[in-house]
Amino acid sequence: MFRNQYDTDVVTWSPAGRIHQIEYAMEAVKQGSAAVGLQSKDYVVLATLKRAASELSAYQRKLFKIDDHMGIAIAGLTADGRVLSRYMRSECISHRFVYESPLNVGRLVTQIADKSQVCTQRSWKRPYGVGLLVGGYDATGAHLYYTCPSGNYFEYKAMAMGARSQAAKTYLERKFETFEDCSLDELIQHALFALKESCTEGDLNSKNCSVAVVGIDRAFETLEGDAIQPHIAAMDSEDSAAMETVDVPAPEATEGVGEPPAPAAGGDEPAPMEQ
């Protein structure tokens, strides 16, 4: 599908200055199921759409616990996501064993970015075709990071990735200024509303989405099925209430249609129209 003479390996540059292998990996992230992350001053919420390969298969997991204070959401190649999650768990375990304290979220993200970037400099390797939303809470507060196959990483207040993620980003751009002081329940509601914007197959329900939360007084936890159903119901009821409160314009008056306007007070009556 993407064959040309400049995409045989990751160290071959095209005349336009592009590395096609990296672009293919980033395209895999864009075609993956949507994932949304947002943070307040005390909590981070990750939400993902679960996509099944076929009607006969189960949904693939998109949320992975890394440590008690950290977890990730993935979009792209699930196999690459599992490889990176296993590496991240090993780093967290090693840090706890040596220093007896949890690993700083930003430091681990930097290590993942370095590991991804190495794959763009070795001809016998390929870029990881997965994007990560890393959410965690450490001594410096709540953090949400995004990493991509090129090795770049960024810290966000809110972020969405995957298929049709632009619709979710638009919602987050309108609301992100209110996230700082939101409670955990409010933050989950915003995550579900953003995820709903990217939903392509039917309505958002407890079977095709999952949510993970972590924060100041809460270890990383994934909410699925019955655990997420109350939040889905609250979102649906809020949508219904919003529809009921929409102002419907009153119909225009139809009396006197076709009649000449009444003369102004104290003025002369208009002359009759000529036949």
Q: Note the pLDDT tens digit of each residue in 200-216.
A: 777 888 888 999 999 99
Residue 90 reports pLDDT greater than 90: yes
Full strand arrangement of the beta sheet holding 63-67: 63-67, 70-76, 130-138, 141-147, 153-155
Main-chain phi, psi angles of 253, to 5 degrees = -65, 140
- Let me know the angle formed at the C-alpha of 239 by 182 and 37, rounded to the nearest 5 degrees: 40
Does the structure show a pLDDT above 80 at 158?
A: yes
Phi and psi (nearest 5°) for 132?
-120, 135
CB atoms within 10 A of CB 134: 26
Q: What is residue 274's predicted lDDT score, i.e. its pLDDT?
A: 46
Q: How confident is the model at residue 259 (pLDDT cuts 50, 70, 90)?
A: low
Banded pLDDT at 62 (limits 50, 70, 90):
very high
pLDDT at 253 over 80: no
Higher-pLDDT residue of 267 and 85 is 85
Mean pLDDT of the chain: 86
- Per-residue model confidence (pLDDT) at position 275: 43
| Token output for 230 | 């109350």
Three-state DSSP state, 178: helix
pLDDT (tens digit per residue) in 5-42: 888 888 888 888 888 899 999 999 999 999 999 999 99
Q: Tokens 């395209």 correspond to what residue? A: 27
**Which has the higher per-residue pLDDT, 239 or 151?**
151
Which stretch of 100-104, 113-117, 180-184, 234-238 has the lowest confidence by average pLDDT? 234-238
CA–CA gap between residue 48 and residue 34 (Å, rounded): 6
As a whole number of angstroms, the distance between CA 69 and CA 104 comes to 9
pLDDT value of position 243: 61
Distance from the first to the final alpha carbon of the chain: 75
Q: Please, are residues 25 and 126 in contact by the beta-carbon 8 Å criterion?
A: yes
Using an 8 Å Cβ cutoff, are 38 and 179 in contact? Answer: yes
Question: How far apart are the C-alpha atoms of 181 and 41, rounded to whole Å?
Answer: 7
Percentage of the chain beyond pLDDT 70 is 85
CATH architecture entry for 20-240: 4-Layer Sandwich (3.60)
Q: Tell me the per-residue pLDDT of 109-153, one tens digit each, with 9 for 90 and over.
A: 999 999 999 999 888 899 999 999 999 999 999 999 999 999 999
Rounded to an integer, the average pLDDT of 167-194 is: 93
Chain-centroid distance, C-alpha 69 = 20
Section 226-232 average pLDDT: 90
pLDDT of 79 strictly over 90: yes
Q: Is the pLDDT of residue 53 over 70?
A: yes
Q: Which of 107-111, 174-178, 243-247, 270-274 has the lowest mean pLDDT?
A: 270-274
Of 3, 47, 7, nearest in space to 192 by CA: 47
Radius of gyration for the chain, computed over Cα atoms and rounded to the nearest angstrom? 26
DSSP annotation of 56: T
Which tokens go with 192?
A: 């579900």
- Give the whole-angstrom CA distance, residue 166 versus residue 179: 19
Q: Which two tokens mark 74?
A: 């993935």
On the question of pLDDT at 273 being above 50, the answer is no
